[in-house]
Each structure stands twice: as structure tokens, then as C-alpha cells.
Structure 1
């Protein structure tokens, strides 16, 4: 298992957290996603290291930006 922490900007509410959690959670190999609204930190546990471009695309699909 691999744990990665990413920073996301633009989130302002619980709906934002849900959108990012859902999109990142759909990436292949992702086991869990924890999003902290206050800090913008997105902690992802996955079976293997995730490709930054894939995470960036998922966050973008949710309507936010990976730092």
C-alpha cells in the first residue's frame, strides 16, 4: 500500500469535499480518500503509487485544482 498527500485549492464546503473524494476514489487502485477542507489536504491510500496526471485530471473533473 502507498499513501500520498496532495494539496487541492478551491474547496469551500462539504459538497466540494464529496466531489473530490468521489472523483479521486474512482481512480484504479485507490483504496481510500480523506479530504480535509480546512487545509486542502487530500490523503489517498492506493495499491500502488498514483500518477500525478491521473490525480490532477480527477481533481479537475471535480472542479478544483491540484497544487
Structure 2
């Protein structure tokens, strides 16, 4: 399992948290989704072979959110 931290644009309310959790949680290989609204980040614990980074970004885009790997 891998943990990927994403910066997500456009999150503004608790409804966004549920929407993002649902969009990522339905992907095969995603074990855990932790949305931090205040920081604008999402931590995803996933199997990188069945849920690679592009699949995570695409799922968020389909849900209406632009995202990218979080720069440390």
C-alpha cells in the first residue's frame, strides 16, 4: 500500500468531503481516504498498481475537483 497526498482545488464545505470520499472510495485498490478541508489536501492510502496516481486525479476531476500531488 502507498500513501499519496494530493492538493485539491475547490473544496469548501462538508459536502465536498463526502463527495471526494465517495469519488475516491469507489476506486478498486483505495483503502482509505482522509480529506483535510482546511489544508485543501486529501491523503489516499491505495494499491498503486490498481489505483495509480492518474486514476486518483481522474476520479477527482470527474467529481469536479482539480488535483495534483502535494508539494512538500
Normalising to structure 1: TM-score of the pair? 0.87
Q: How far apart are 1:52 and its partner, in Å?
A: 2.3
User: Aligned partners of 2:2 and 2:56: how far apart in 1?
Assistant: 14
Unaligned runs of 5+ residues in structure 2 are none
Q: Which residue of 2 aligns with 1:62?
A: 63
Provide runs of 4+ in structure 1 moved above 2 Å.
Answer: none
User: Aligned partners of 2:15 and 2:61: how far apart in 1?
Assistant: 15
RMSD: 1.1
Unaligned runs of 5+ residues in structure 1 are none
Q: How far apart are 1:15 and its partner, in Å?
A: 0.5
Q: How far apart are 1:25 and its partner, in Å?
A: 0.9
Q: Which residue of 1 aligns with 2:8?
A: 8
Q: Which residue of 2 aligns with 1:36?
A: 36
Q: Which residue of 2 aligns with 1:17?
A: 17
**Equivalent pairs, count:** 66
